[in-house]
Structure 1
Amino acid sequence: MPAFLDYYNIQYKVVEVNPISKKEIKWSDYKKVPIVTVEGEQMVNSSDIIDTMFKRLHPEGSAKSSTSSEEEKEWLGWVDSHLVHVLSPNIYRTAGEALESFDYITSHGKSLKFGFMERMVAKYAGATAMYFVAKKLKKKYNITDERESLYQSAETWVDALKDREFLGGSKPNLADLAVFGVLRPIRYLQSGKDMVEHTRIGNWYSRMEEAVGESCRVTA
């Protein structure tokens, strides 16, 4: 989601969610992230948020008021139905990777004010909990080999590009932004490093980093 906002130079505030208490989203009936609120309206699911925000930028009557092709819609659906489900089993694949992920969360969350003890509890308790949750998700989504599933997903995406710079051609479309948005948080975790090393996705990812540019995030 931030990738879309960054690409369109839309300022936004981020409220990170404490992975243990989730107190920051107790107000919502929806208990997953991302959640976006715009003028009091709540939006959920990454691809749905992107599509809704795009339509806000290009109101009804514009030639760009909806996703431009069936291909784009297909891959937006793939992000929510497949790609997002591959991540947790990978970033929490081992105890070490789970700790790495939670260390990143608790160290880099700018709006979460962790004290030392709270940070340690969040890191170790969260990592332990998510390690076991990841095993359940692996079974739920019939993933036999976490890394192989991640690599296959990356290769599937590269194949979809058909030698284009982006799925959108010379510029990213909504599907490009959705895939990039899902992969960006893991890029410099072990899972993301492995993905770039063992698949062809690195060149596309680098082009997306350049296209999306600097973060438009503002201090909450």
Structure 2
Amino acid sequence: MRRITSSVLLRTLSAARGGAISFSVPNRFLQVALYGSSAGGARAPRRWWFTYGPFAGASLGVAGALATAVATTSAYQEVFAKEPPPPEALPNDVVLYQYEACPFCNKVKAYLDYYDIPYKVVEVNPLSKKEIKWSEYKKVPILMVDGEQLNDSSAIIDMLGEKIMSKKKAGEDDEETKWRRWVDNHLVHVLSPNIYRNTSEALESFDYITSNGNFSFTEKITVKYAGAAAMYFVSKNLKKKYNITDERAALYEAAETWVDALNGREFLGGSKPNLADLAVFGVLRPIRYLRSGKDMVEHTRIGDWYSRMESVVGESARVNA
């Protein structure tokens, strides 16, 4: 699937008009400016007015801007083109056992979504874990690929890369590997203290979790309030364990560290996201529209990169179970 971000188109049109742009002109006026006629067909007077009259410069400017935009669109389609696996390499049955707000689960989903690998989701009750009673491994994510169980988000992604994309694991000193480790060893640890910073934010997060899970009414109430209370206290322990004094400051610093690592590139992978881009995007995705994520985008420079990632990852590859 090939995409272009709306921001690219807006920047192109803006540049063509000297930085000032307005889309308040009706479509009919734009058609007249470009073709010298309206949909109704009163041709000659309108053509003269826009070709030789006072709007001549504006019509040519718009036409030139759109022509430039078309060329830019083509270029950006190539830049943002996905590289899905060949159809014959796709597994027949992929099932993800997850918590909706789990950063590690969302890291796996970002990979599956980007590569258009269809998958089903089983939402695990975080209190009873009844959905994974069959597994000796009691954490999420668990990914079942044609009956084979894969555990641990980074290991799952590496295994999928080898099985489906025929990609070998990068070297230990590789930039991509370095930042993937940073995600697992640092970024995820600043998330919980922010998501569950206080009781209202903890409840906001669990409201998001229960609204996406297949829970009964009683389970929703239990999970929301008991889970929020439990994670509020867990987050305080994590804050102490990782020596975090100010949750938001730690989150903002991590976001700025990532933007610095991009060093002016669209993605860490250059013109296309690599596994580190997908990892950062994945773990941030469940908080993006919570209070903590909104604060992060408002107070750091990460918003532009995140928007590019949203565009290139595209729609979810999730299918109904």
Q: TM-score, normalised by structure 1?
A: 0.92
| 1:81 CA drift (Å) | 1.0
CA-to-aligned-CA distance 1:97-147 (integer Å, 9 cap, x gap):
0000001111122xx2x2222211111111111111111111112211111
| Residues 1:194 and 2:275 aligned together | no
| Residues 1:210 and 2:311 aligned together | yes
Letter in 2 for 1:106: T
Aligned to 1:176: 277
| 1:26 CA drift (Å) | 2.4
CA-to-aligned-CA distance 1:11-60 (integer Å, 9 cap, x gap):
0011111122122222223332222121333222222222221122233x
Question: Where do 5+ consecutive residues of structure 1 fail to align?
Answer: none
1: CA distance between counterparts of 2:151 and 2:284? 18
Aligned to 1:67: 170
Letter in 2 for 1:65: K
Q: Find the residue that maps to 1:218 and give its secondary structure.
A: coil
2:259 to 158, 170, 183: 158
2: CA distance between counterparts of 1:5 and 1:67? 19
Judge conservation of contact 1:47–1:77 (CA < 8 Å) in 2: no
Aligned to 1:80: 184
Q: What's the % identity of the aligned pairs? A: 72
Letter in 2 for 1:23: K
Aligned to 2:91: none
Letter in 1 for 2:308: R
Letter in 2 for 1:102: F
Q: RMSD over aligned Cα, in angstroms?
A: 1.5
**How many corresponding residue pairs?**
213
Aligned to 2:111: 4
Letter in 1 for 2:183: V
2: CA distance between counterparts of 1:141 and 1:29? 29
Aligned to 2:198: 94
2: CA distance between counterparts of 1:135 and 1:145? 11
| 1:178 CA drift (Å) | 0.8
Over 3 Å counting, the alpha-carbon distance change for 1:83 and 1:31 in structure 2 is farther
1:44 to 132, 137, 151: 151
Judge conservation of contact 1:46–1:80 (CA < 8 Å) in 2: no
Q: Which has the higher contact order (CA 8 A, sep 6+)?
A: 1
Judge conservation of contact 1:98–1:128 (CA < 8 Å) in 2: yes
1: CA distance between counterparts of 2:283 and 2:190? 10
Judge conservation of contact 1:51–1:174 (CA < 8 Å) in 2: no
| Residues 1:103 and 2:207 aligned together | yes
Judge conservation of contact 1:102–1:127 (CA < 8 Å) in 2: yes
Aligned to 2:239: 138
Aligned to 2:142: 35
Judge conservation of contact 1:2–1:181 (CA < 8 Å) in 2: yes
Q: Find the residue that maps to 2:143 and give its secondary structure.
A: strand
After the TM superposition, list the runs of 4 or more consecutive aligned residues in structure 1 that deviate by more than 6 angstroms: none
Question: Where do 5+ consecutive residues of structure 2 fail to align?
Answer: 1-107
Letter in 1 for 2:192: S
Letter in 2 for 1:38: V
Greater CA radius of gyration, 1 or 2?
A: 2
Judge conservation of contact 1:45–1:80 (CA < 8 Å) in 2: no
